[in-house]
Structure 1
Amino acid sequence: MPGGPGPSLPDARVVLLGRDGCHLCDEARAVIQQVLAEVGGDLAEVDVDSDPELQRRYTEQVPVTFVDGRQHDYWRVDPARLRRALG
């Protein structure tokens, strides 16, 4: 990942980095939950504003999706692409 090592994230198959009041985060969460209901896996959410480093690195990209610890998407989640990543 550019800018050094990746952030410290929860141990979950999919991590959604978002913030309160973010409509794109709500949309991303719904897509992720739908895909995970089909293929299995767990979701953890992290508030970007809870950590100054996360806020500095990702505030302009929220929501950011990580799959297996690697950045996968930002702003929007494509369900087909997420299925492939989880497959």
Structure 2
Amino acid sequence: MSDQVKVEVLTKQGCHLCEDAVEVTRQACAEFGLDHHIVDITEDPQLRELYAEEIPVLRIDGTVRDFWRFDPARLRRLLAEALGRSSG
């Protein structure tokens, strides 16, 4: 797997939207040969304060790119852009 692009999904336990977002992210990252990281915001007071009302949150290379419901097509486009490829 590639470490070229850092993909993170900020979550918390018991969040059904988080479960869906993790699965969408897992599938999209697999298509691009990328790893993704799950970050539980309850373990970090700063993240909990910043994102408590927006989770799940998608960060690509440290930048928030999506929250709540992740659209698979949009996520693929974002990953292609992050990798410097054309999404067309």
How many residues are treated as equivalent by the alignment?
77
Moved over 2 A (4+): none
**Given the two structures, how large is their TM-score scaled by the length of structure 1?**
0.82
Structure 2: 5+ residue runs without aligned partners? 81-88
- How much has 1:85 moved relative to structure 2? 0.9
Deviations 1:5-64 (A, max 9, x none): xxxxxxx62101000111000000110111112122110111111111111110000100
Map of 1:4-83 to 2, 5 A cutoff?
A: 13-83=6-76
- How much has 1:69 moved relative to structure 2? 1.4
**Given the two structures, how large is their TM-score scaled by the length of structure 2?**
0.81
Q: How far apart in 1 are the matches of 2:31 and 2:45? A: 34
CA RMSD in angstroms comes to 1.5
Say which SS state the counterpart of residue 42 (structure 1) adopts.
coil
Structure 1: 5+ residue runs without aligned partners? 1-11
